[in-house]
Amino acid sequence: MTFTIESAQSIFSSTQVPSPIPATLALFEQLSVDDKLALLWYAYTEMGRSITPAAVGVARLQFAEGLLNQIKQMSTDDQFQVMRELANRADTPISRSYGVFSVNTKLAFWYELGELMKQGIVAPVPAGYQMSRGVSIVLEAIKQLDPGQQITVLRNAVVDMGFGSDVAKSVQTDAEPLFPRTSPAPAKIAVEGITDSTILSYLEALNKDDFDAAIALFTPDGALQPPFQKPIVGYEAIKRYMRAEAQGLNIMPQQGISESLPNGSKQVKVTGIVQTPWFGVNVGMNIAWRFLLNPEGKIVFVAIDMLASPQELLNLRPV
């Protein structure tokens, strides 16, 4: 029995509801460049969700340090110009360097710039800037989101900046350190409604950052589809992705449903909370995993979805 990625993507499709995140990002995209920068500043400072400083390791910043030092030495006007170029994805040397940073280095770069803005070394918004109607509309839309969705909007906005940024190609080099875990994740996991050992092993492996163990649970052409992204196919690609994006996650699954299909395969949906090391225990994201297992119990496909609302945690209807 073979599956196509397309057929696998549609498992539990009746539980899929439109997410407000792409809609909010589309509103953001329509803003002028100064409005985008101002929006991010207001959203970042007003939401009051604090980034865990431990996440911004000194070693991680070393990749962004050169750029940050250049920016520090610039005039205020030039600093704005650089930020505009990044937000506009302009083809300039600085914007190109940014474009090849890994996701975590991009986030660390803006975190540090944000700190410099708070200290007054870099000015936060252009002098004389008046908040436009567009900015207040997008800000209002962001305020309606739950905290996990808010940080996802911020993250996606940052990751899309710079020239030639391509999340799918972004890789973390071996030189970049692992995220420090502030508190150990639970080693043993119990999920109401789930006894399948593949599923439990997958979740436990992620909690230990044991990506080799996680990969071993997939078929060689198995696929992993992250939130709002295309499926990533095969051991090597999934492992590279996990090394870059799944370090230090706290996985706290709550409940699930497992359904045997006529051909001996199984579809499993699990919902629960995931914490990112960037925000630690301060922000929980409501997440669903939709697994397709072959008759041998290997993962053919898993989609990770950001839930549209906390009520979706209980939405485990099959089909």
Q: How far is the CB of 109 from ligand 45D (least distance, A)?
A: 8
**Nearest residue to 141 (alpha-carbon basis) of 23, 17, 286:** 23
Give the contact letters, 95-134, x = binds to ligand 45D (CB under 6 A), - = no: ------------x--xx-xx--x-----------------
Closest CB to ligand 45D among 113 and 268? 113
CB of 263 to ligand 45D, least distance (A): 25
Q: What percent of the residues of the chain are helix, what percent strand, and what percent coil, each to the nearest 5?
A: 45, 15, 35
Nearer to ligand 45D, 46 or 259 (CB): 46
CA 196, CA 302: separation in Å to the nearest integer?
15
226 touching ligand 45D, by CB under 6 A: yes
Structure tokens at 60: 């991680």
Of 34, 204, 245, 305, the residue at the interface with ligand 45D (CB under 6 A) is: 245
- Residue 174, classified by CB atoms within 10 Å of its CB into exposed (0-12), middle (13-18) or buried (19+), is exposed
Residue 180 has phi, psi (to 5 degrees) of -75, 135
Instruction: Give the binding range for ligand 45D (CB under 6 A) out of 146-154, 162-170, 186-194, 258-266.
Output: 146-154
Residues 27-56 binding ligand 45D (CB under 6 A) are 37, 40-41, 44, 51
Q: Where are the alpha helices (DSSP H) in the chain?
A: 5-9, 20-29, 33-46, 58-72, 76-88, 93-99, 103-118, 133-144, 147-159, 197-207, 211-215, 235-245
What is the SS3 assignment for 86? Answer: helix
Q: Which residues lie below 8 Å from residue 190, measured CB to CB, with a gap of 6+?
A: none
* CB atoms inside a 10 Å sphere around CB 141: 16
Number of H helices, E strands in the chain: 12, 6
Q: Which is nearer to ligand 45D, 94 or 206 (CB)?
A: 206
**Nearest-approach distance from CB 166 to ligand 45D, in angstroms:** 17
The answer to whether residue 304 forms part of the interface with ligand 45D (CB under 6 A) is yes
> To the nearest whole angstrom, how small is the minimum distance from the Cβ of residue 91 to ligand 45D?
19
Binding mask 155-194 for ligand 45D (x = CB under 6 A): x--x------------------------------------
Task: Between 37 and 215, name the residue whose CB sits nearer to ligand 45D.
Answer: 37
Binding residue for ligand 45D (CB under 6 A) from 80, 278, 291, 301?
278
> Among 142, 285, 307, 308, which residue sits at the site for ligand 45D (rule: CB under 6 A)?
285
- 186: tokens are 């639970």
Asked whether the beta carbons of 231 and 248 are under 8 A apart, the reply is: no
Write out the residues near ligand 45D by the rule CB under 6 A.
Answer: 37, 40-41, 44, 51, 107, 110-111, 113-114, 117, 151-152, 154-155, 158, 206, 226-227, 242, 245-246, 249, 274, 276, 278, 285, 287, 304
